[in-house]
Amino acid sequence: MIHLPRHPSSGAQAPAPVSWRDTLPTLVGQLVTLREVRLSDADALFTVMQAPDVSRFVSTPPATEDLFRSFIHWVQRERALGRYACFAVVPAGSDTPVGLFQVRQLEHGFVTGEWGFALSPEHWGAGLFMDAARLVVEFAFSTIGMHRLEARSAVANVRGNAALRKLGAVHEGVLRNSFHKDERRLDQSLWSLLADEWVARRDAGTAVH
Ligand SMILES: CC(C)(COP(=O)(O)OP(=O)(O)OC[C@H]1O[C@@H](n2cnc3c(N)ncnc32)[C@H](O)[C@@H]1OP(=O)(O)O)[C@@H](O)C(=O)NCCC(=O)NCCS
């Protein structure tokens, strides 16, 4: 489940010495480049996250462009603390982001984390998701060193669940009433990818492309 805090606040935690914490790497795929979210992305990403087809399945995003800029400051602080990474999805030949992928730690040390993603609806079904997702999964397992990557997606989110299944994520169950949205309590599917399974599939040439 993608989660953007509406009122980002700072928090202190002892940093661990890993280089992605200084600045996120730029990840280059066939259709997209992923790079750290910048302040100059705020207006474009605010528009993406406010699109009704996106916002219905994500936690309520920052309500204004200014709050979105605060969110980006928060992203940079959390990355420096080694517990969060947020990539802007930039299509090849453009400099304007059309979506974002985030990974956040679920436990100290980032062995287990959760990811979430959103793309502007006009870019759905064009292959950007798979291109970007493979880059982010590799980043999570190879660069951060995670072992388990979880995703939560509302059961009613047919497209989000199909995208995770297509990527090879394993459906582990349903988290009842785990997502509160617009006064409603929705069930979520819990999905996971494990680093060793991902690497085995990649090395066997059976990873999804
Ligand atoms: C989730 C998201 C990033 C996926 O990107 P996308 O470009 O839509 O994904 P893809 O097109 O690669 O995959 C979606 C799959 O759903 C399938 N699908 C779409 N509608 C479907 C339906 N009604 N029934 C069954 N499958 C369906 C598509 O056919 C596609 O599978 P295919 O490529 O095998 O044909 C995008 O839909 C999005 O931003 N959604 C809003 C935010 C969100 O839900 N985020 C996930 C929760 S964290």
Tens of pLDDT, residue by residue over 140-171, are 999 999 999 999 999 999 999 999 999 999 99
Mean pLDDT of the chain: 92
Please say if the pLDDT value at position 28 is more than 90.
Answer: yes
pLDDT score of 4 more than 80 = no
pLDDT of residue 38: 96
Cα distances (Å, whole numbers) of residue 110 to 3, 30, 63, 160: 17, 28, 29, 24
Confidence of residue 41 (pLDDT cuts 50, 70, 90): very high
pLDDT for res 16: 53
Nearest CA to ligand 1 atom 46: 160
The fourth-level CATH superfamily of domain 19-203 is Gcn5-related N-acetyltransferase (GNAT) (3.40.630.30)
The verdict on the CB of residue 58 being under 6 Å from ligand 1 is yes
Determine whether the shortest distance from the Cβ of 160 to ligand 1 is under 6 A: yes
Question: Which of 50, 123, 159, 192 to probe ligand 1 with, by most ligand atoms within 8 A of CB?
Answer: 159
Cβ(159) – ligand 1 distance below 6 Å: yes
